[in-house]
Amino acid sequence: MARWTPGSDINVTAGPRPLADPDAVRASSPLAPDVGVSARGSSLWRDGVRRLRRNRLAMAGGAVIVLLVLIAIFADVLAPLPYTKTNFGRLNEAPSHAYPLGTDQLGRDLLSRMIYGARVSMLVGLGAQLIIVAIGVPIGALSGYVGGRTDLALTRFIDVMYAFPRLLFVILVMSMLGAGLTNIFIAIGLTGWVGIARQTRAQVLSIKQKEYVEGARALGSRGGRLLFRHVLPNALTPIVVAVTFGIPEAIFTEAALSFIGVGINPPTPSWGQMVGEGQQYIRSYWHLCVFPSIAIAVTMLAFTFFGDGVRDALDPKMK
């Protein structure tokens, strides 16, 4: 047994060295994925929110979106009249003190119908995107993560679906399901998941080769745990951006369907339906078509500005 003596440069302890605690090694390792990914993801979102707040157009768009959501939620309180109430003594009346936006061809208050139309638009935008995410993200993640024949088969299926003209496909589905709010959710969801599936697949293919994912795999993470804990959380940025841009697309699709008469069933108001009903009177009663068209345009611009801001805020190259 060696002992230390003054002047000696060698310090030899007796017996074998104790083994390091595996949990301590795991926690202190630079490849510890839980700590690294969490901190990196948290920093990314914090920086993104900070950049988003500095984008005036995005914040203006966000304010309009919040206003539309509040109008949709409190439509029953905000609407001055029921959207089905008719007044045959005041048909197609121009904007006035009693009717700020005028009345339609049945004497119904246009302002009340536009307020309830905001509810329909918000429901379609959010509901359709939930279905799109529920279908597209799992398919894209499975295709990119598993690879091999599974990836080949799913990619070919995605390409086939992508080849169909989307609006025509939606009209075909609606003709089979029939008009109605729920059927619009289903039709837009069944035809709109392809883009987000392709983006998710591309992100998963890239992320699963990263060093922190390899480190997590070396530490024992496998299968679903690796995918849902380390891969998908880091693929959320393009998914969030895609959803932000997908909402106005769904709203516009619903407006187009209602315009041609295969969307929302009357008397439930829809902006697209109101434009379709008012366009035949546009020379004599311009307000029937103009006000719903402005509502659609403002909503589309608000979501577009906000989506651009979210994309720029979450882009690491913008740092």
Q: How far is CA 228 from the centre of its chain?
A: 19
**Mean pLDDT of the region 94-123:** 92
> Residue range 294-317: average pLDDT?
87
Ramachandran angles phi, psi of 140, nearest 5°: -65, -40
User: Mean of the pLDDT values across residues 52-79?
Assistant: 93
Residues 160-179 have pLDDT tens digits of 888 888 888 888 888 888 88
Q: Is the pTM of this model over 0.85?
A: no
Residue 8's pLDDT is what? 47
* Residue pLDDT, tens place only, 109-156: 999 999 999 999 999 999 999 999 999 999 999 998 888 899 899 999
Identify the pLDDT of residue 298: 95
pLDDT score recorded for residue 262? 84
pLDDT greater than 50 at residue 78 = yes
Residue 128 CB contacts under 8 Å (≥ 6 apart), including other chains: 184, 185, 188, 189, 192, 246, 250, 253
Structural domains of the chain, ranges and CATH numbers in brackets: 47-76+105-318 (1.10.3720.10)
Q: Is the pLDDT at 26 greater than 70, yes or no?
A: no
Cα 82 to Cα 79, 267, 268, 305: the distances in Å are 7, 11, 11, 33
Ranked by mean pLDDT, which of 7-11, 263-267, 313-317 comes out on top? 263-267
Whether the Cβ atoms of residue 227 and residue 141 lie closer than 8 Å to each other? yes
